């Protein structure tokens, strides 16, 4: 009698929510099980990295404004140590430098605060599908040159990071006469990721 085929382990649907605002973090953690994910919370970048060392998450929902290690530094650490983890960024307004770095690090999606639970569920679904797909080769080209803005100007609270990323993509396409391979190279991402972004933002070129 042969041994029965072992049951494969369940897929890792662990989602790490990195958010320093207690009530928002608690709300997100309560919502995740209903979306089919296993939640774990972290109030700081340091706590998030310790949690990943103990048990890596499939997806990280990452606030950019964190005490101690900021969110973008955490993102870079995740890419270095856990490249398979998909990252969804949470932010309150658009920032050129953050958008540029997020594109280079192949962010899965953006959420603008305050976000709805429907927005969160859609972002997690997109991140999960990307997790199941074959992963892109990490970009090795330099990020695009971006015209500097006034460093003393106050952030525009109506300008989301999605708007900024879309502007960067359109500008790269314009500079390269709609050559998507060249635009992807300038942005520091794969062509596959560029097509994903074009579809996500309903950009037809």
Three-state SS string over the chain comes to CCCCCCCCCCCCCEEEEECCCHHHHHHHHHHHHHHCCEEEEECCHHHHHHHHHHCCCCEEEEECCCCCCCHHHHHHHHHHHCCCCEEEEEECCCCHHHHHHHHHCCCCEEEECCCCHHHHHHHHHHHHHHHHCCCCCCCCCCCCCCCCCCCCCCCCCCCCHHHHHHHHHHHHHHHCCCCHHHHHHHHCCCHHHHHHHHHHCCCCC
Domain range for 128 is 12-146+156-205
Output 10 or 143, whichever has higher pLDDT. Answer: 10
Q: pLDDT by residue (tens digit) across 156-171?
A: 444 555 666 777 788 8
Residue 53 lies in a domain: yes
CB contact set of 85 (below 8 Å; sequence gap of 6+): 52, 56, 57, 58, 59, 60, 78
pLDDT reported for residue 202: 73
**CATH number for the domain harbouring residue 126:** 3.40.50.2300
pLDDT reported for residue 176: 85
Output 2 or 94, whichever has higher pLDDT. Answer: 94
User: Taking the CB of residue 64, how many other CB atoms lie within 10 A of it?
Assistant: 22
pLDDT-derived band at 8, boundaries 50, 70, 90: very low
Residue 1 lies in a domain: no
pLDDT reported for residue 91: 79
pLDDT surpassing 70 at residue 96: no
Output 196 or 141, whichever has higher pLDDT. Answer: 196
Residue 2 lies in a domain: no
What is the rounded average pLDDT of the residues 31-38?
91
Q: Is the Cβ–Cβ distance between 76 and 163 less than 8 Å?
A: no
- The whole-chain average pLDDT of the chain stands at 78
Measuring CA to CA, how many Å separate 108 from each of 16, 69, 132? 14, 21, 12
Residue 5 lies in a domain: no
pLDDT surpassing 80 at residue 31: yes
Angle between helices 45-54 and 71-81 (to 10 degrees): 20
Residue 37 lies in a domain: yes
pTM assigned to the model: 0.66
pLDDT-derived band at 195, boundaries 50, 70, 90: confident
End-to-end CA separation in angstroms for the chain: 61
Q: Which two tokens stand for residue 41?
A: 């919370």
Q: pLDDT by residue (tens digit) across 121-139?
A: 988 998 998 888 744 444 3
Q: pLDDT by residue (tens digit) across 39-95?
A: 999 999 999 999 999 999 999 999 988 988 999 999 999 999 999 999 999 877 656
pLDDT reported for residue 98: 74
User: Taking the CB of residue 185, how many other CB atoms lie within 10 A of it?
Assistant: 20
pLDDT-derived band at 32, boundaries 50, 70, 90: very high
Distance CA 165, CA 201 (A): 10
Residue 80 lies in a domain: yes
pLDDT surpassing 90 at residue 200: no
**How many structural domains is the chain composed of?**
1
Residue 173 lies in a domain: yes
Residue 151 lies in a domain: no
């Amino acid at each position: 009698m042969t041994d029965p085929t072992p049951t494969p382990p369940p897929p890792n649907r662990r989602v790490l929510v990195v958010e320093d605002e207690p009530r928002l973090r608690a709300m997100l953690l309560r919502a995740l099980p209903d979306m089919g994910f296993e939640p774990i919370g972290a109030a700081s970048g340091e706590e998030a990295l310790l949690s990943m060392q103990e048990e890596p998450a499939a997806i990280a929902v990452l606030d950019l404004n964190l005490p101690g290690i900021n969110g973008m530094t955490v993102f870079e650490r995740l890419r270095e140590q856990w490249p398979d983890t998909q990252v969804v960024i949470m932010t309150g307004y658009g920032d050129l430098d953050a958008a540029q770095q997020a594109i280079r690090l192949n962010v899965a999606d953006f959420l603008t605060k305050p976000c709805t639970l429907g927005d969160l569920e859609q972002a997690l679904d997109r991140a999960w599908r990307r997790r199941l797909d074959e992963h892109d080769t990490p970009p090795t080209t330099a990020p695009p040159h971006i015209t500097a803005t006034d460093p003393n100007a106050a952030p525009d609270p109506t300008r989301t990071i999605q708007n900024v990323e879309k502007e960067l993509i359109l500008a790269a396409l314009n500079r390269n006469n709609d050559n998507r391979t060249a635009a992807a190279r300038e942005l520091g991402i794969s062509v596959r990721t560029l097509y994903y972004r074009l579809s996500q933002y309903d950009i037809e070129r």
